């Protein structure tokens, strides 16, 4: 009888710990109950008469994109209460290019979204993000190739847009878009390796926030952008520079960071000190976590957080999934495991480990249904 009473008490305690606020947003990696369909049953309260209802599914561009309480950067980032409680530091909901979202509505360049793929954060990852981080080239619907092909890649040739290609394609004509007309390459050895648009200068009209924050170092920033692109080319790891930009997420006025994207799907990060020293260039792919290392680190993190590490049973075969995002090479590793509580009852959990290139991983643990 005492044993039965102990088990009942344990279940009540676990329910209190993991129930939390079911309506509260959670960090990207937190596992929650699944939704049976990505299509919204009703428009959320946030999508009022001041918004434009859309109802479309999109891929996400970039990583570390914070989800906010309202349509603007002045609104608070949504805190993941459960993850914060577990990790003892403030954790926020964010999305990246490993997720697909359903956009319910838009307002002033912001979108109210909810994650639909992967399915485990469907009921938690909801809120406002800047619309520019959604690949709005098309509503991806059920297209299995949508996460593999850029929305702009198959833009159709038209007589109006490409008259010479259509009319004279077999007599030496090509569409002007295939000629980099931003510059006469002359004797510049980098001109054939760096797009003329990659180093378009930051202007007050086009980049007001950047100018306001970094204006005192603007000329230096432009010089460092070019040098970063040249270093990427010289490294032999970047075949053709598409973009060379200041990283606002990582930079401060006293410590500038830059990223370079290449045609061969490589991304390179360099800070101002590495650029000035001419340091060795490493791509994000080179710095990224491989499957074996990520799995070992995630398993150790699980045991470090277990009440009885020796009693942890990790499902390393059927209960494990590994995903590495293209370009950013961020890794998401999910591992199912069972662990015993103080009463000796075995409880099923799922751990989600995130590994950014060259950085220590993070882990979220949630009860498994």
Do 318 and 271 lie in a common domain? no
**Which pLDDT belongs to residue 3?**
43
* 236 lies in some domain: yes
**Which pLDDT belongs to residue 64?**
83
* 78 lies in some domain: yes
* 157 lies in some domain: no
Where a domain ends, among 133, 149, 165? 133
Do 324 and 251 lie in a common domain? no
Query: What percentage of the chain reaches a pLDDT higher than 70?
Result: 74
Confidence at 120, pLDDT banded by 50, 70, 90: confident
Do 126 and 24 lie in a common domain? yes
The per-residue pLDDT for range 151-204, each reduced to its tens digit, is 556 566 665 555 555 555 556 776 765 655 544 455 678 989 999 899 999 999
Do 202 and 272 lie in a common domain? yes
**Which pLDDT belongs to residue 160?**
59
* 142 lies in some domain: no
Read off the CATH number of the domain in which 28 is found: 2.30.30.40
**Which pLDDT belongs to residue 341?**
87
Position with higher pLDDT, 303 vs 38? 303
Do 28 and 122 lie in a common domain? yes
Read off the CATH number of the domain in which 347 is found: 3.10.450
pTM greater than the 0.75 cutoff: no
Q: Who contacts 166 (Cβ-Cβ below 8 Å, separation ≥6)?
A: 157, 158, 159
Average pLDDT, the chain: 81
Do 122 and 220 lie in a common domain? no
User: Residue 122 in contact with residue 34, Cβ under 8 Å?
Assistant: yes
**Which pLDDT belongs to residue 29?**
32
Confidence at 268, pLDDT banded by 50, 70, 90: very high
**Residue 139 pLDDT > 80, yes or no?**
no
Do 259 and 333 lie in a common domain? no
**Which pLDDT belongs to residue 179?**
59
* 361 lies in some domain: yes
* 156 lies in some domain: no
Question: Average pLDDT, stretch 65-78?
Answer: 93
Do 221 and 313 lie in a common domain? no
Which of 36-45, 249-258, 343-352 has the weakest average pLDDT?
Answer: 36-45
**Which pLDDT belongs to residue 136?**
79
Do 258 and 314 lie in a common domain? no
* 351 lies in some domain: yes
Do 48 and 120 lie in a common domain? yes
Confidence at 117, pLDDT banded by 50, 70, 90: confident
Residue range(s) defining the domain that contains residue 198: 186-286
Where a domain ends, among 286, 321, 342? 286
**Residue 229 pLDDT > 90, yes or no?**
yes
Where a domain ends, among 102, 133, 164? 133
**Which pLDDT belongs to residue 11?**
40
- How many Å separate Cα 147 from the centre of its chain? 13
Do 24 and 127 lie in a common domain? yes
**Residue 287 pLDDT > 90, yes or no?**
yes
Q: How many domains does the chain have?
A: 3
How far is CA 178 from each of CA 158, 182, 240, rounded to the nearest angstrom?
Answer: 15, 12, 14
Question: Average pLDDT, stretch 282-303?
Answer: 95
**Which pLDDT belongs to residue 87?**
66
Do 232 and 326 lie in a common domain? no
Position with higher pLDDT, 65 vs 1? 65
Q: Who contacts 90 (Cβ-Cβ below 8 Å, separation ≥6)?
A: 79, 84
**Which pLDDT belongs to residue 176?**
64
Dihedral over alpha carbons 302, 307, 313, 318 (to 10 degrees): -40
CA pair distance 186, 184, nearest whole angstrom? 6
The per-residue pLDDT for range 26-70, each reduced to its tens digit, is 333 322 233 333 443 578 899 999 999 999 999 998 888 999 999
In the chain the first and final C-alpha atoms are separated, in Å, by 28
* φ and ψ of 244, to 5 deg: -140, 105
């Amino acid at each position: 009888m005492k044993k039965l009473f102990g088990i009942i008490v344990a279940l009540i305690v676990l329910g209190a710990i993991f129930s939390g606020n079911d309506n509260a947003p959670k960090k990207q990696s937190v596992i929650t109950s699944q939704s049976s369909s990505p299509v919204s049953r009703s428009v959320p309260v946030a999508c009022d008469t001041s918004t434009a209802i859309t109802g479309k599914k999109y891929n996400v561009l970039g990583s570390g994109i914070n989800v906010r309480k309202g349509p603007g950067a002045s609104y608070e980032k949504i805190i993941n209460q459960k993850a914060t409680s577990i990790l003892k530091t403030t954790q926020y909901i964010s999305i990246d290019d490993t997720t697909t979202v359903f956009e319910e509505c838009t307002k002033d360049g912001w979108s109210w979204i909810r994650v639909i793929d992967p399915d485990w954060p469907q009921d938690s990852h909801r809120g406002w993000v800047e619309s520019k981080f959604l690949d709005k080239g098309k509503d991806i619907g059920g297209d299995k190739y949508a996460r593999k092909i850029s929305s702009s890649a198959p833009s159709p040739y038209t007589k109006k847009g490409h008259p010479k290609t259509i009319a004279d394609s077999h007599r030496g004509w090509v569409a002007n878009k295939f000629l980099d007309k931003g510059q006469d390459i002359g004797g510049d050895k980098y001109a054939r390796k760096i797009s003329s648009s990659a180093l378009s200068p930051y202007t007050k009209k086009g980049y007001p926030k950047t100018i306001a924050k970094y204006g005192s170092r603007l000329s230096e920033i432009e010089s460092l952008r070019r040098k970063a692109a040249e270093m990427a080319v010289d490294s032999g790891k970047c075949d053709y520079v598409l973009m060379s930009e200041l990283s606002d997420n990582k930079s401060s006025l006293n410590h500038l960071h830059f990223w370079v994207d290449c045609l061969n799907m490589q991304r390179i990060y360099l800070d101002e000190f590495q650029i000035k020293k001419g340091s060795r260039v490493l791509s994000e792919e080179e710095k990224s976590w491989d499957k074996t290392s990520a799995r070992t680190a995630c398993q150790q993190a699980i045991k470090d957080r277990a009440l009885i590490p020796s009693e942890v049973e990790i499902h390393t075969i059927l209960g494990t999934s590994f995903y590495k995002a293209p370009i950013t090479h961020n890794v998401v590793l999910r591992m199912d495991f069972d662990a015993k509580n103080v009463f000796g009852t075995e409880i099923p959990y799922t751990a989600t480990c995130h590994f950014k290139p060259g950085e220590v991983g993070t882990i979220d643990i949630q009860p498994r249904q």
